Chain A
């Protein structure tokens, strides 16, 4: 997709991904406190409503160092990498950290953060892992209420329903704009590359939402104005473990794939649904978390697969690539079952193991290229 006019308005998103800590430090200098979080089952709106910046913890692509003496090397490389950053005090600007009930190793991260990192203790939102049902409502709502109290204790501000509804409206606007951009990938060829879309999405998870919404409007306007690209390739849907760098998407597109959609927590899963407006905003957040797309840590698996299949149909994907971070057991377990489901709809899938530190990327590129060449799309 070399003939696309580069997007000028993408620059702030690229900068946010390259140096997320700078965004947090800028916020701290001008606005106040910063709360780190992982993963997307944390309701950021509650943090924002308290006047603080929700800051997603992302890693770097450096090899794991000291964290290997805390976690055994057979555990998730992404988590070990962010623990390395914490040991190096790269998150020292955080005024608090909130984690949620996702994978097993994230629970270990919570333990080890509280035991070894010279920072305030992390808070854990004990969200249910069984979603898409009403039986978890009281429990989940209570967990959010407890989290709200914790946030109020850190911020010193009261999180009123009014403030929370304003935060929800702001975040809904971000989600809506991101989705509007994503829908431009439906056309053939898409109006923006998968790499661009990923950078915009991931950057938007880092940037303060009041700042990001005008930037997203600029992006939208620029995409609509620029000439549609004259390139074709196999239309790829990407799923799998967390991807916190555009490298892999870029790699697919360098070998003539076109990433048209994804099921990633740093991208489409982050914004695909909206929080409904409600006089009871905590309940609205619960409903949103209960029904929106989720990762392989959650149940039921069938709804996740249906979401992926629907996306594939909607974006006319020719194939799916699942990236499994090494030792990411939830996705590793799901992979053969997803393959079976997709084969029933004649949708090929390539399941690829990846190292968070880019190890084996040369070989990975060859495998992706071989997979995409199968489609022989001119």
Chain B
């Protein structure tokens, strides 16, 4: 990292990107926010929604949209979680409620926002909520609906208790939910061009294929991408549109990684350990993801890719059958409760990314992962012999975040893994 980048990194609550293309991706995020603002000025109704709603439909109908949960994440990333959580709590929301969604609710209820949020947040005219993957996801929207008195539509995604193959009645049900979403948007002034929808679905398929190519390089030893960079990359399909060159950005990312892998360049000089991070990323202290590097340990894979929903199997996406195939891919996604899909995903990740240890963090206000961590830990150990550490880390509400404890937990786990590895060699 050059001196200029180093100085910048020190002054920000987030790490500076390591790869050139990651910087371009972040610029793309900002463009997206300004595009939504512009659309609102032009009189288009803005939709407030979730990252796991089918973006392809919104894109195809030319709907400007903001992701409530992404904005909640930004609140924490930029150090405002205490402020916005407090605003949500002043409304009566319990502190036991998901911290990420308290950030989201707080932001939506307050008009005096910081410059960044004045840019990123556009007041919504419509709300499309979803219960995927958790109840908090479908509940925090109620506060936005209540504040702005917007029309709303909730997508009910079945939990994948059937494992694969997903039965047709479930696919049909979710596809009908998507049709309902289209009707809702039509009732509010938008029209759907089916050819455009097919194009958007084909684009999603292409992005998922590109992501799969990128993942091949991410598995390399030494790892060629920092954890924070991979988080930004994972968010790019959500926030950078086809028109803004998302495909090109992923091709660049793949090529940058290929170059590093071909030349044996890793993100730390002497990679000694590879970690898998399970749990919400440490949003209020993103530098924590890169912290193990001081020991020569890298977070080779983290949960974010899994959370953004961009883990759809491209083989399941069929542009000629857009709604059904999106529904099938969504129900089959590893983030869809119940846990078996998640468990299989993490076990496979430990194998594919040649993981030495798993850091599994408990966000105390989450109701999705804390019931699965033991199951995931046992399955990983049984299948691969790789150990996990589970510890509390509220990494969203800064008032509940303890950096010293987080560092101490990571230090001791890494030291144990080092000792184990040393003994083995």
Contact = CB atoms under 8 A, between A and B. Distances in A.
Contact of A111 (B135, B180, B340, B365): B340
Interface in A325-377: 326-327, 329-330, 332-337, 339-340, 351, 353
B371 interface: yes
A193 B96 CA distance: 33
A3 interface: no
A72 B170 CA distance: 30
A139 B142 contact: no
B262 to A, nearest CB: 42
Nearest to B179: A135
Interface in A94-126: 101, 103-105, 107-112, 115, 124, 126
A110 B156 contact: no
A71 interface: yes
B328 to A, nearest CB: 14
A107 B169 contact: no
A232 interface: no
Contacts of A124: 159, 161, 338
Contacts of A129: 131, 138, 156
A312 B90 CA distance: 26
Contacts of B373: 72
A330 B136 CA distance: 7
Contacts of B131: 129, 299
Interface string B158-185: 1101100000011011001100100000
Contacts of B169: 138-139, 142-143
Contacts of A60: none
A111 B368 CA distance: 12
Contacts of A336: 91-93
A300 interface: yes
B291 to A, nearest CB: 23
A218 B207 CA distance: 68
Nearest to B371: A108
A336 B140 CA distance: 12
Nearest to A299: B154
A105 B371 contact: yes
Contact of B375 (A103, A115, A135): A115
Contact of B367 (A103, A128, A301, A353): A103
Contacts of A111: 338-340, 371-372, 375
Contact of A300 (B154, B362, B374): B154
A330 B364 CA distance: 16
B202 interface: no
B371 A109 contact: yes
Interface string B120-135: 0000000000010011
Contacts of A330: 135, 139
Contacts of B367: 75-76, 103-105, 327, 329
Given A136-B156, A138-B172, A337 B337 contact: no
B93 A135 contact: no
Interface in B332-348: 337-340
How many interface residues does chain A have, given as a range?
A: 35 or more
Contact of A74 (B136, B158, B364): B364
A2 interface: no
Interface in A65-109: 69-72, 74-76, 101, 103-105, 107-109
Given A104-B367, A105-B367, A108-B371, A138 B142 contact: no
B91 A130 contact: no
B372 A333 contact: no
B111 interface: no
B243 interface: no
A136 B370 contact: no
A297 interface: yes
A112 B135 contact: no
A321 to B, nearest CB: 15
Contacts of A69: 374
A324 interface: yes
B98 interface: yes
Nearest to B138: A299
B143 interface: yes
Contacts of B139: 329-330, 333-334
Candidate in B170, B337, B362 with the most chain A CB atoms within 10 angstroms: B337
Contact of B96 (A130, A142, A332): A332
A333 B371 contact: no
Interface string B362-396: 10111110111111001000000000001000000
Contacts of A334: 139, 142
A234 to B, nearest CB: 22
Contacts of A101: 158-159
B191 interface: no
A257 B162 CA distance: 47
10 contacts: A74-B365, A108-B338, A111-B339, A111-B371, A124-B159, A301-B142, A329-B367, A332-B93, A333-B97, A353-B94
Interface of B: 91-94, 96-98, 131, 134-136, 138-140, 142-143, 146, 154, 156, 158-159, 161-162, 169-170, 172-173, 176-177, 180, 337-340, 362, 364-368, 370-375, 378, 390
Given A108-B337, A334-B142, 16 more contacts: A70-B375, A74-B364, A74-B370, A108-B339, A110-B338, A111-B338, A111-B339, A115-B378, A126-B159, A126-B170, A142-B169, A300-B154, A301-B142, A326-B96, A333-B135, A335-B92
